[in-house]
Structure 1
């Protein structure tokens, strides 16, 4: 479902020709296999398949499924490579490769070609590793590739993409994605995600978009959970010269500021008793 035509051809050929003994496969051969399959074209597939044929030609017929008629099916290529090593290999490859969407997408196509199910959990680990390295451009590319395959269509993934776009200095693109995928159904969007978008608008001086988003949330009777959100909205109104609207918002959500003051007093109370 998620394979490119070239990779599908390669996967099919190696599934037929490359079912080798577990003992003959190691992490190095897995890496070589993926590097070859990144090219995703028929010529590469034939060459790679031939190399596996050559390997089988040096083994006994019982070790090579194509030569052993009716023999038990062997384990698939890469089955004895740990999931951790697969993730590590993918991250290392993505970090070392040139900045090309086609190259990144081709690598990801090759990486999942040998999986029976889409490895969403492994990709999430890879994304966390890329975030740790602050490789925001790569994070964006990986998530966009996932979405192009119809995978990872959750609010959590959307939030991860918006954050990566913001960190990659692509606030306008984050805004466009919000409008297309999230902003049309604000009654169920988590406040955490709304707060994230409000902060992006605030940092990038997109004040009208910030106010529009907040008003849309108010239209669904959604009360902001913390005063920092209200303060950003009030600041936006002030910067736009809409002082009456600023006062309206501060008055309407005054309880949030009052709750914060009460919380601060309750935290200070125990410390005073200790001093006595």
Structure 2
């Protein structure tokens, strides 16, 4: 039960990132690279203070180039894509890509994947695909591709799990290491005007729903495993759709509601223990 509650909290934080980014960048409150850079800086600052307070400089041993590169790829692609994507659609593309990436990683490492987990994954992906079929509101190709790139980055970052030390140390080192990449992208794009609201949304996304949320994510990853972690993240688009509708007035159709139900059903089936059949 504790694992379920913690995972639910993390998925909610992930969905909040989509809503915060869309509200700030899509709403013209801040530029995409300004948001990405501020998100990384604020997340790194909070995590470094917390990790140093808890264990001194031990987190400095957590730097891993793959972790840093994957996190930076995700954050930058995520912000660029949300210039045009709705919160729910962006989360859909992101975590569908994460699903494929993490299942691919599980296959490459020869993890045991029960048949019901495959069935649950296919059902959940079918529900996600139905969301974006013609007639439900298509997305622009450019932002869609950028979100796919972000999804690959997040998938690799998740597959890395605790590589580099404990969850807090690994997440702190990854954020601190990604800051120079984020600042370089910000300089290349050129600073854009932003409002206090846009900056505040970026800081909340970086310090709370990203920094602390990702540290908690790395803490539960070992217990979940690659395929269950991938399936769990398919609930994020559903939460993001609800958040986008409630906070950003994004439309919700019957088709969207039904596809969300299919996603939840697929995840529930795939994550249920085999003994539940009895």
- Please give the TM-score of this superposition, normalised by the length of structure 2: 0.27
- Larger relative contact order (Cα-Cα within 8 Å, sequence gap ≥ 6): 2
Larger Rg: 1
- Please give the TM-score of this superposition, normalised by the length of structure 1: 0.27
